[in-house]
Homo-oligomer: A and B are copies of this chain.
Amino acid sequence: MARPQDLFPTRLERKLGMFERLDPVVHTPSERLSDGPLSAKQVREFDERGFLFFDSFFSKDEMDGFIKELKDYEDDDDLKLSEGTILEPGKEEIRSIFGIHDISERFDRLTRDAHLLNIVRQLLDSDVYIHQSRINYKPGFKGKGFNWHSDFETWHSEDGMPRMRSLSCSIVMTDNNEFNGPLMLIPGSQKYFIPCVGRTPEDNYKESLKSQDLGVPDAASLTRLMDENAIEAPKGPPGSLIIFECNTLHGSNVNMSCWPRSNLFFVYNSVHNTLEEPYCGNKPRPEFLANRKNMEPLKPVRNP
């Protein structure tokens, strides 16, 4: 059922040009910009560029237990059959495990790490909950890429996320380098919404999580944004952190190296921005992709 006005129209049959976003990138009012934990300078950088990178935000020691647990999952045959687990196209390798914080108490606690959570709450100026969590494996030689996209474009059209008041934290689990398909971002792209062409089929996620074709911005808009601000691919050791806004365009290339690239993603959404019916008119996607059940504000824990 189409609503009278969709502020972020997308998945249309005809092309519609990009336009400036309606919502703030940083939701904190200016008089509280310096309240921390991020400095006013860091907040302004996030506002301007749509992401922040922290080399070794967590120490290697802090990460070791998480990395070991993920390795165990790689060999878990039950998990491969689980509905939140996405395999590489035509392959036996795991591409993504969704709902990692539902599977593991350890990862659940990590979503509430006080330092991390306070940064998220500062930027969104709100209590938050987990909209989605996942681990993206990208095995050496075999890991496929992710095409350019705005997460918000999908979350709005397929999950009914009303406004831009969410962000992703990507925690590096294995060294991210130039050759193993690191996350690439287009600085400044969060400032625009790019409507995408093409109606969304029911159960689109079964294809889109393996290879995204719908929800990919047109070449002209991508070219304009890349020519303006180039592309960046933050690199760092396990424990490094990339925080990126829900509308920042990003993607990643094939992993042609022998070095696996695993990144953990926690998506935080403001409790004032909970999901409605999907704007594309389809039925809602499964819970493991878009949480509609547990929207209690997260409470910080020390030393998860």
Which residues does A use to contact B, with CB under 8 Å?
140-141, 145, 147-148, 178-179, 184, 219, 222-223, 226-227, 231, 233, 251, 253-254, 256-259
Contacts and interface: CB of A to CB of B under 8 A. Distances in A.
Contact of A184 (B145, B222, B227, B256): B256
Count of this chain's copies in the oligomeric assembly? 2
Contacts of A251: 256
Most B Cβ at <10 Å: residue of A145, A222, A227, A256: A256
A141 B184 contact: no
Contact of A256 (B145, B227, B256): B145
B231 A179 contact: yes
Given A141-B219, A219-B140, A219-B141, A226 B257 contact: yes
Most B Cβ at <10 Å: residue of A147, A231, A233: A231
B254 A254 contact: yes
B253 A223 contact: no
B141 A222 contact: yes
A223 B258 contact: yes
Contact of A148 (B222, B223, B226, B256): B256
Contacts of A227: 258
20 contacts: A140-B219, A140-B223, A141-B222, A147-B256, A178-B231, A179-B184, A179-B231, A179-B233, A184-B256, A222-B258, A226-B257, A226-B258, A226-B259, A227-B258, A231-B257, A251-B256, A253-B253, A253-B254, A253-B256, A254-B254
A178 B223 contact: no
Given A140-B219, A223-B140, A259-B226, A145 B178 contact: no
Nearest to A142: B219
Contacts of A256: 145, 147-148, 184, 251, 253
Nearest to A230: B179
A184 to B, nearest CB: 7
Contacts of A233: 178-179
Contacts of A147: 256
Nearest to A220: B258
Closest 5 CB pairs of A and B: A223-B258, A226-B258, A179-B231, A253-B253, A141-B219
Given A148-B256, A226-B258, A251-B256, 20 more contacts: A140-B223, A141-B219, A141-B222, A145-B254, A145-B256, A147-B256, A178-B178, A178-B231, A178-B233, A179-B184, A179-B231, A219-B258, A222-B258, A223-B258, A226-B259, A231-B257, A253-B253, A253-B254, A253-B256, A254-B254
